[in-house]
Amino acid sequence: MLAAYGGHPEVVRLLLEKGADVNVAMDVRDRATALMVAASMIYNGEVLKLLLENGSIDVNVAGSDGQTALMYAAGWKEWETVSLLLAHPQIDVNKTDSAGLTALDHAKGSQVKKLLKDAGAKKGRAL
């Protein structure tokens, strides 16, 4: 988690080689994973790629607010991160958070919105 947060690909690589569980949540309250943390930071492609290449990663896991890494990245206007996440075969572009919102609803910036729309994302519906 801290290696992803700090943007340290060499530490992330070592931890993954030693069998670190990429889906472990940071704490009970937030339930944020390393991928969520990395997606909500300023773009660090190497860390994201290492996490996304891990065969056991759940790219659609949600935090306590129901938001996924894709939603975080979209909300921060991180188009490079959004692009990497969209390339993952398991990504669910229309998953909704606890308020019924999708990544497209969270998206800020025209470039991010276009990427999501091109990937088939739709607007959610508030509960």
pLDDT at 125: 79
CB 32 within 8 A of CB 26: yes
Average pLDDT per 10 consecutive residues for the chain, totaling 127 residues: 90 95 79 89 88 94 94 92 96 96 95 96 81
Measured at the alpha carbon of residue 113, what is the angle toward residues 36 and 125, in degrees to the nearest 5? 80
pLDDT at 25: 86
Give the whole-angstrom CA distance, residue 54 versus residue 29: 25
pTM of this structure: 0.91
Q: Which CATH number fits domain 2-118: 3.40.1260.20, 3.30.420.40, 1.25.40.20, 2.60.34.10?
A: 1.25.40.20
pLDDT at 124: 92
pLDDT at 5: 87
Supply the DSSP symbol for 80. Answer: H
Q: What are phi and psi of 66, to 5 degrees?
A: 85, 0
Q: Environment class of residue 50 by beta-carbon count within 10 Å: exposed (0-12), middle (13-18) or buried (19+)? A: buried
Where are the chain's structural domains? 2-118
CB 4 within 8 A of CB 37: yes
